[in-house]
């Protein structure tokens, strides 16, 4: 990362900041989403630039035991491809390990394979998935 970016575990993040970050890379922001989701998290990582702007994020859900799950990894559109995503994932992994988790899971779209496998150190495993929205 060429500019100063700081990452923090359980960074105090507002709904408005998450909505802005989501919209910055073309995502659909949902009002109140972060307030609902954060209460079910082991923690999360926020990345901020020198001016305090939220430029990266990842949420860590868990089962209360040995399994943690990465969700909603985001990097501000104007800040992508600078290592911010890998930095927030790295801190999230370290904090999940410190909390006693043995496994960190992530699902991703095929175009994110190199990011998660190469940049973040995940490995492929067999998994199953049911699309609960199918047939609606």
Three-state DSSP at 59 gives strand
Q: For the residues 25-31, what does the mean pLDDT come to? A: 90
* pLDDT tens digits along 69-119: 999 999 999 999 999 999 999 999 999 999 999 999 999 999 999 999 999
| pLDDT of the residue at 16 | 96
> Is pLDDT above 90 for 37?
yes
pLDDT at 135 > cutoff 60: yes
* pLDDT range class, residue 2, cuts 50, 70, 90: low
State residue 65's pLDDT score: 93
Vertex 9, ends 53 and 56: CA angle to 5°?
Answer: 35
Query: Cα–Cα distance between 68 and 96 in angstroms, integer?
Result: 7
pLDDT of residue 1: 44
- From the CA atom positions of the chain, what is the Rg in Å? 15
- At 136, is the pLDDT very low, low, confident or very high (cuts 50, 70, 90)? confident
Q: Is the pTM of this model over 0.85?
A: yes
What CA dihedral angle connects 60, 63, 66 and 68, to 10 degrees?
-20
**Reported confidence tier of residue 124, pLDDT bands at 50, 70, 90:** very high
Is CATH 3.40.630.30 what the domain over 5-119 is classified as, yes or no? yes
Write out the DSSP string of 72-135. EEEE-GGGTTSSHHHHHHHHHHHHHHHTT-SEEE----GGGHHIIIIIS-----------TTTT
What's the sign of the alpha-carbon dihedral 124, 25, 58, 83? positive
pLDDT for residue 134 = 85
């Amino acid at each position: 990362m060429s500019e100063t970016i700081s990452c923090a575990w359980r960074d105090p993040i507002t709904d408005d900041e998450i909505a802005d970050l989501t919209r910055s890379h073309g995502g659909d922001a949902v009002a109140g989403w972060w307030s609902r989701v954060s209460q079910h998290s082991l923690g999360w990582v926020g990345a901020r630039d020198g001016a305090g702007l939220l430029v990266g994020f990842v949420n860590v859900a868990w089962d209360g035991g040995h399994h943690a799950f990465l969700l909603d990894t985001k990097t501000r559109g104007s800040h992508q491809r600078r290592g911010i995503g890998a930095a927030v994932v790295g801190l999230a992994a370290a904090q999940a390990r410190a909390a006693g988790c043995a496994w960190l899971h992530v699902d991703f779209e095929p175009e994110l394979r190199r990011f998660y496998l190469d940049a973040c150190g995940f490995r492929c495993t067999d998994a199953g998935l049911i699309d609960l929205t199918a047939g609606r």
